[in-house]
Amino acid sequence: MKVVVASGKGGVGKSMVASCLATFFHEAGKKVVACDCDVDAPNMHVWLGVKRFRVAKILKCSKKAFVKDEAKLLRCKLDPKVCKFGALKRKGASFEIDELLCEGCGACYMMCSDGIGMRTVENAEIRLAKTRFGFPLAFAQLYPGEKSSGRVVDEIVSFAEGIEHETMVMDAAAGIGCPLISSLKFADHVLLVVEPTVSGLSDLHRVLRVVKHFQREYSILLNKVGLNACIERKLRKKFSRKLVGEIPYAREVFACLNRGTLPLESAKLRKCFHGAFERLVDFLR
């Protein structure tokens, strides 16, 4: 069973919820593996108190162009404007490619394969750690300026699948781009974390289009309740059958953040997290 925790917007508490959910399943006696698929900005390891990790695999799923032969580039009369990303530059008779700007589209290579080469580069690493609760966490970190985050998500999920488990809790990247889509294709269920704000509502509709496109079962957890009573009423009315629970916008959440503990461990918050996750389990049956 794979549960993907997602949101159309960053900063709504998705990683916190994913970390609490993995811990909830672990406490309930399930064999859990947590998988952080937010490869641009992973932080489940922070919530789950990871002190040490080992690099399990270096990924090479990105390509970059390089200057192979300047003389041949001159003969090709390669115009740097062929690169729409501004990575290809010419200074007199010399060419250079800015690696951070190169998107690996291959346009320059198609125009002059004698002078330009394409090479595969290391773009991310997969890390494996034991959380302070005792269950494993697999997470990937994209290297600075690197791309192919969707493919990195494929790799991290395949890696996590190799770890013995009954339930995988995946923390997807915020938004509706490639990393989310790569996470969704593995999902048995999607838990959408929503905050009751104007942008939160708009982003929920956007992410729902993607979730529905892939015909995934979903439920909704309303976080930061107390921010906007009007939007909260709207969400309760519209998604009454999908809503698993509500987490208050409370000082205690920030106190947990400062202490480096999970809200699930707080006596004040435990009940609402447990209530929500128990309803989620009903959805999963």
Q: Which of 67, 74, 76, 105 forms a contact with ligand SF4 (CB under 6 A)?
A: 105
Sole window of 36-44, 84-92, 143-151, 232-240 interacting with ligand SF4 (rule: CB under 6 A):
84-92
- Interface with ligand SF4 in residues 108-137 (CB under 6 A): 108
Total number of residues that touch ligand SF4 (CB under 6 A):
14
Nearest approach in angstroms of CB 102 to ligand SF4 is 3
Nearest approach in angstroms of CB 84 to ligand SF4 is 7
Closer Cβ to ligand SF4, 104 or 200, answer by number:
104
C-alpha closest to that of 227 among 1, 3, 13, 6: 13
Neighbours of 83 (CB within 10 A): 21
Tokens coding 96 = 């250079």
> Which H, E and C letters describe 96-165, residue by residue?
EECCCCCCCCCHHHHHCCCCEEEEEECCEEEEEEECCCCCEEEEEEECCCCCCHHHHHHHHHHHHHCCCC
Tokens coding 268 = 């004040």
Sole window of 43-51, 81-89, 154-162, 189-197 interacting with ligand SF4 (rule: CB under 6 A):
81-89
Q: What is the spatial distance between Cα 183 and Cα 25, in angstroms, rounded to a whole number?
A: 20
Nearest approach in angstroms of CB 64 to ligand SF4 is 7
Closer Cβ to ligand SF4, 2 or 64, answer by number:
64
Are 217 and 283 in contact by the 8 Å Cβ rule? The answer is yes
- Nearest residue (beta carbon) to ligand SF4: 83
Closer Cβ to ligand SF4, 80 or 275, answer by number:
80
Binding string, 85-104, against ligand SF4, x = CB under 6 A?
x-xx--------x----xxx
Residue 106 interacting with ligand SF4 (CB under 6 A): yes
Query: What SS3 class is residue 238?
Result: helix
Binding string, 186-225, against ligand SF4, x = CB under 6 A?
----------------------------------------
* Residue that the structure tokens 């494996």 belong to: 128
Q: What is the spatial distance between Cα 58 and Cα 235, in angstroms, rounded to a whole number?
A: 43
Are 102 and 46 in contact by the 8 Å Cβ rule? The answer is no
Q: Residue length, the chain?
A: 285
Query: What SS3 class is residue 246?
Result: strand
Nearest approach in angstroms of CB 145 to ligand SF4 is 12
Q: Which of 107, 227, 243, 250 forms a contact with ligand SF4 (CB under 6 A)?
A: 107
Cα-to-chain-centroid distance, residue 164: 22
Which residues in this chain contact ligand SF4 in the complex, by CB under 6 A? 65, 82-83, 85, 87-88, 97, 102-108
